[in-house]
Amino acid sequence: MDTIVSMASALCLLLGSFLCLSGGVGILRFPDFYTRMHAVGVTDTLAAAMILIGLMLQNPEGLVMLKLLLILLMTIFISPVASHALAKAAFKNDLVPLSDSNENKGGTESSIS
Amino acid sequence: MLIAATIAILLVMILGIIRGVVGPTLYDRILAVNMFGTKTVLLISLLGFAMGRPDFLDIAIVYALINFISIIGVLHFSDSAVFKHDPHDSGSTNKDA
Amino acid sequence: MRDLFAVIMMTGIFGLLSASFFVAMDAVDVAFTEASVGAGIATLLMLTAVTLTGRSEDSERHKPMWALVVVFTTGGLLIYGTLDMPYFGFAEAPVHQHVAPRYIYDSMQETGLPNIVTSVLASYRGFDTLGEVVVIFTAGMGVLALLRVERRPGIDQIMADSIFYLMHERHLILRIVTKMLLPFILLFALYVQFHGDFGPGGGFQAGVIFAAGIILYAMVFGLNTARYVVNRTFVRSLSAIGVLLYGGVGVVSMLLGGNFLDYDVLADSPVAGQHLGILLIELGVGLTVAAVMVIIFFNFCGRRDLP
């Protein structure tokens, strides 16, 4: 039983790390703001959830478990909302998404260096 | 396994810093800070377990909250008029928002 | 970087990074303070300041060459000075010989608190902490004296504003999530405040978290609504009450025959007295810090909203 739980914990941590890394590569390599945002926003929540579940499977005692659960709940609420607010603010301030048809090079505002 | 995950998160943090320094638009920087914040929460929780000090989880909770509040703050103030007319601004895309 | 906004974002990243560094060095309380103050509230206050002053840096009229030279020389000298220092974590180092053993070995018997940092901050070094609280209080008073906005919105204005904000579909998701999170933020601040004796935390951190919750409310629901909820006169008097509570504990301990801020005489046994004293002064610190942060934010924002 113990080995199964620790294996599951390791698997969750590994998956979380992988998702984190893919998000990190995404934020560096994708061409414009919205695609980067998609890379980070999608992977972030699941990666955090996976790592926290992995930690929960390490058999901590009561209060620690409760705190981990609290962090998990907060991440699940906060991370998508922050992404949503960010994307909305960017779109409202006329940051144009990259597409085939327009000449815009994908969110290179001339004013901001 | 805890150590491996910690190293992976540190790597991702470095990538995030690069995007924050390079990142051409304002929102890229905000995105980098946001990602950095979530990764810090994870890093602190992992370090707490790796070092056997579960006290650290309090700090992780503070981070999760403070990160949200500062992102909302940044977006709130980026709506204000000062941010829209930039002195160096010459016909940019965000002029008439 | 000429764009001050980008500079603030990088400062935020720096705060997060240095807090991770403190965590790695096992300094939990310092990391806590850095998390709540350095990464959180300082970023917000700098942002409000930037909205008052404008977003880009002025072009300088002189070349900052000499300043760079001075900075590099000083930095080089400081690094040269560290070469003589004992190794990191060296047990015979002078810093570990003087008062540190007393704190580590005796604080549990003398104050009965498991968190040494709290007992040093609030009991052994209580006078220094009183000075810090007075500094924060003075900063709040300075902001009030310089930036106070006397335009007081009428009740009709407030109601109109809040109805506008409530009915307005903008930020709908943010509002709902904020409403759900706000009780947890305030509850967590209280936990940090009163659990500071046993775990990481204390008055400074709790005050900042509490203020951050109120600031979040003000940002999402509008400044006038927040002003209606959080009475300004009440907040101002609260910032003074915190300092008075701190000083009052000292005066009471003097009246009971001890030294200033000597909590041993406050209750029947010294340990119970220490407990009571530390709890009270942490409460004073928390009240002052929260009130001053709210004052600073409201006055900065109120000035920005002036026509």
Chain B residues touching C11 at Cβ < 8 A: none
Chain B residues touching C216 at Cβ < 8 A: 68-69, 72-73
Q: How far is A88 from chain B (nearest CA, A)?
A: 10
Q: Please check whether residue A100 lies inside any domain of the structure.
A: no
Chain C residues touching B76 at Cβ < 8 A: 219-220
Q: Can you tell me the mean pLDDT for A84-100?
A: 78
Which of A64, A81, A83, A109 would you mutate first to test chain C, the one with the most C CBs within 10 A?
A81
Q: Please check whether residue A109 lies inside any domain of the structure.
A: no
**Lowest-confidence segment of A74-83, C96-105, C270-279 by average pLDDT:** C96-105
Q: Please check whether residue A112 lies inside any domain of the structure.
A: no
φ, ψ (nearest 5 deg) of residue C3: -80, 110
Verify whether the Cβ–Cβ distance A109 to B72 is below 8 Å.
Answer: no
Q: Can you tell me the mean pLDDT for B30-49?
A: 87
Q: Please check whether residue A78 lies inside any domain of the structure.
A: yes
Residues of chain C with pLDDT > 90, as a percent, come to 17
Q: What residues contact residue C80 under an 8 Å CB cut-off, 6+ apart? A: none
Domain boundaries, position A85:
2-92
Q: Which of A25, A51, A108 faces B5 most closely, judged by CB atoms?
A: A51
Give yes or no for residue B91 having a pLDDT over 50. no
Give yes or no for residue C203 having a pLDDT over 80. yes
User: Hey, is C227 helix, strand or coil?
Assistant: helix
Give yes or no for residue B42 having a pLDDT over 80. yes
Q: Which residue, B5, B70, B76, is CA-closest to B36?
A: B70
Q: How far is A90 from chain B (nearest CA, A)?
A: 7
Verify whether the Cβ–Cβ distance B33 to C31 is below 8 Å.
Answer: no
More confident residue, C219 or B93: C219
Q: Please check whether residue A99 lies inside any domain of the structure.
A: no
What does the pLDDT read at residue B96? 35
Residue B50, sorted as left (phi over 0), alpha (psi -120 to 50) or beta, turns out to be alpha
Q: Can you tell me the mean pLDDT for B31-55?
A: 85
Flag whether residue A57 sits within 8 Å of chain B, measured between CB atoms.
Answer: no
Q: Which residue, C68, C283, C127, is CA-closest to C194?
A: C283
Q: Please check whether residue A98 lies inside any domain of the structure.
A: no
Give yes or no for residue A99 having a pLDDT over 90. no
Q: Please check whether residue A111 lies inside any domain of the structure.
A: no
Which of B65, B74, B94 would you mutate first to test chain C, the one with the most C CBs within 10 A?
B65
**Lowest-confidence segment of A11-15, A62-66, B50-54 by average pLDDT:** B50-54
User: What is the rounded CA–CA span in Å between residue A74 and residue B73?
Assistant: 18
Based on the structure, what is the number of domains in chain A? 1
Verify whether the Cβ–Cβ distance B61 to A70 is below 8 Å.
Answer: yes
Q: How far is A4 from chain C (nearest CA, A)?
A: 30
Which of B1, B43, B63, B96 would you mutate first to test chain A, the one with the most A CBs within 10 A?
B1
Q: Which of C51, C174, C212 faces B66 most closely, judged by CB atoms?
A: C212
Q: Which residue of B has its CA nearest to C182?
A: B65
Under the banding of pLDDT at 50, 70 and 90, the label for residue C72 is very high
Give yes or no for residue C191 having a pLDDT over 80. yes
Give yes or no for residue C288 having a pLDDT over 60. yes
Give yes or no for residue C109 having a pLDDT over 80. no
Q: Please check whether residue A80 lies inside any domain of the structure.
A: yes
More confident residue, B81 or C230: C230
Nearest 5 degrees, angle CA C147-CA C153-CA C157? 145
User: What is the rounded CA–CA span in Å between residue C190 and residue C266?
Assistant: 24
Verify whether the Cβ–Cβ distance B73 to C215 is below 8 Å.
Answer: yes
Average pLDDT over chain C, rounded to an integer: 82
What does the pLDDT read at residue C286? 92
More confident residue, C137 or C231: C137
